[in-house]
């Protein structure tokens, strides 16, 4: 029999950025982070996992092209961890039942589920994943990719585990992936334990708490980025004194303040913190030796536009109406409330007419992983 399951997971965009690891193998961060998960319809990965006794090895296809699963690499780790959870689950459920290996002809009734259960985690898997957006353009494809991979295996193995438990495994695929296990507003708590068992994603608020929150993705370029997040952040850890200041004296307070702003639906505060944190992330990139630049002239011009837009609004006593944020690439994500979306899209198209069609508006921020 072929067992198959499909799951889909959206991209998340951080307001408080994850940048730096204290453990590169387990992917444990140097600071906590917080993000918003986009809705299911737009930027997402859809992954199908299959287990079959005839498969001779684990294999992976990304957007139709086969990729090597490197031994001891991130994908191999996620698959191994999911198989381990499945084994554990089956053994916990039937601790005293005879195992298939030892009693091949015993008690067919029980053996059947035991047999299937144990065998399923020993079968090799074939995994196919598709993104509905360009990979490695600074649009966080690894986040949705690993979240969908782990979710599809959880579904295949029928694991009754929480998103936080799955986030521990997705984290080992790509740090930011752990946050895509939840919809809405999500924190990745850095944790303190050396084994990483407390470095996981938790829900700050569901999407329904602030349904007017929208994200506008401005695709400035869909080229492959220069310095990958993984290598860039390690260089920052090794060379940037500013990062040490950031992780000790800035991020803890920001995590508390932005969580409070989200709970209070205080957009002005949310916007202030989000923009400051994007700025500081790009400052630590610049403080890296040699320096890393992710934003380009168009990115900076969009910042200027949003700053001016907010200045006018603040002057009218209305507070900030938009927040820009940039990850490891030049594309802008603009958070705003529903009532301002149209105005901001028009504004951007007015100042960047040549970019018409290059901006993708993403409405609503629904659910996390949709199985």
Give the interface with ligand DP6 as residue ranges (CB under 6 A). Answer: 14, 17-19, 27, 33, 140, 142, 174-176, 229-230, 327-328
- What's the Cα-to-Cα distance from 248 to each of 30, 32, 126, 243, 274, rounded to whole Å? 9, 11, 43, 9, 18
Q: Is 133 helix (H, G, I), strand (E, B) or coil?
A: coil
What b/e readout covers 236-252, taking b as 16+ CB neighbours within 10 angstroms?
Answer: bbeebebbeebbeebbe
Give the span between the Cα atoms of 167 and 261, in whole angstroms.
24
Cβ-based nearer residue to ligand DP6, 49 or 142: 142
CB of 360 to ligand DP6, least distance (A): 18
CB of 328 to ligand DP6, least distance (A): 4
Strands (E), the chain: 3-10, 12-16, 21-23, 28-29, 33-37, 44-52, 59-62, 65-67, 124-131, 184-189, 200-205, 213-218, 322-326, 332-337, 359-362
CB of 339 to ligand DP6, least distance (A): 27
CB of 145 to ligand DP6, least distance (A): 10
Cβ-based nearer residue to ligand DP6, 27 or 366: 27
Cβ-based nearer residue to ligand DP6, 208 or 296: 296
CB of 85 to ligand DP6, least distance (A): 21
Give the span between the Cα atoms of 43 and 81, in whole angstroms.
26
Asked if 349 and 355 touch (Cβ cutoff 8 Å), the reply is yes
Cβ-based nearer residue to ligand DP6, 18 or 157: 18
Q: Is 106 helix (H, G, I), strand (E, B) or coil?
A: coil
Cβ-based nearer residue to ligand DP6, 120 or 332: 332
Give the span between the Cα atoms of 235 and 83, in whole angstroms.
33
Residue with token string 């006593």: 317
What b/e readout covers 357-369, taking b as 16+ CB neighbours within 10 angstroms?
Answer: ebbebbebbbbbb
CB of 170 to ligand DP6, least distance (A): 10
Cβ-based nearer residue to ligand DP6, 20 or 163: 20
Q: Which residue is nearest to ligand DP6 (CB)?
A: 175
Cβ-based nearer residue to ligand DP6, 19 or 185: 19
Cβ-based nearer residue to ligand DP6, 120 or 181: 181
CB of 67 to ligand DP6, least distance (A): 15
CB of 234 to ligand DP6, least distance (A): 8
């Amino acid at each position: 029999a072929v067992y198959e399951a499909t799951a889909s997971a959206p991209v998340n965009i951080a307001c408080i950025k994850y940048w730096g690891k204290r453990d590169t193998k387990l992917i444990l961060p140097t600071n906590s982070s917080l993000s918003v998960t986009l809705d299911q319809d737009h930027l997402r990965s859809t992954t199908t996992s299959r287990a079959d006794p005839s498969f001779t090895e684990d294999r992976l296809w990304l957007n139709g092209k086969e990729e090597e699963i490197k031994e001891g690499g991130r994908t191999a780790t996620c698959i191994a961890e999911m198989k381990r959870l499945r084994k554990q689950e089956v053994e916990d459920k039937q601790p005293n039942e005879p195992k298939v290996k030892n009693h091949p002809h015993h008690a067919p009734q029980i053996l059947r589920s035991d047999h299937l259960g144990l065998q399923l985690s020993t079968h090799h898997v074939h995994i196919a994943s598709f993104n509905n957006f360009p990979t490695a353009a600074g649009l966080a494809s690894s986040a949705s990719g690993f979240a969908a991979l782990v979710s599809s295996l959880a579904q295949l193995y029928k694991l009754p585990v929480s998103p936080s438990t799955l986030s521990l495994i997705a984290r080992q695929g790509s740090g930011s992936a752990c946050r895509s296990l939840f919809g809405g507003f999500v924190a990745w708590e850095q944790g303190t334990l050396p084994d990483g068992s407390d470095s996981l994603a938790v829900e700050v608020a569901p999407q329904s708490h602030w349904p007017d929150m929208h994200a506008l993705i401005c695709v400035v370029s869909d080229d492959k980025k220069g310095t990958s997040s993984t290598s860039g952040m390690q260089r920052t850890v090794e060379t940037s004194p500013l990062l040490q200041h950031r992780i000790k004296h800035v991020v803890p307070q920001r995590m508390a303040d932005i969580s409070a702003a989200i709970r209070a639906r205080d957009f002005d505060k949310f916007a202030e913190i989000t923009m400051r944190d994007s700025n500081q992330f790009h400052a630590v990139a610049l403080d890296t030796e040699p320096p890393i630049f992710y934003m380009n002239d168009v990115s900076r011009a969009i910042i200027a536009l949003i700053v001016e837009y907010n200045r006018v609004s603040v002057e009218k006593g209305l507070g900030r109406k938009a927040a820009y944020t940039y990850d490891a690439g030049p594309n802008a994500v603009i958070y705003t409330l529903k009532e301002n979306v149209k105005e901001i899209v028009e504004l951007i198209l007015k100042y960047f007419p040549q970019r018409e069609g290059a901006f993708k508006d993403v409405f609503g921020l629904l659910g996390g992983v949709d199985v």
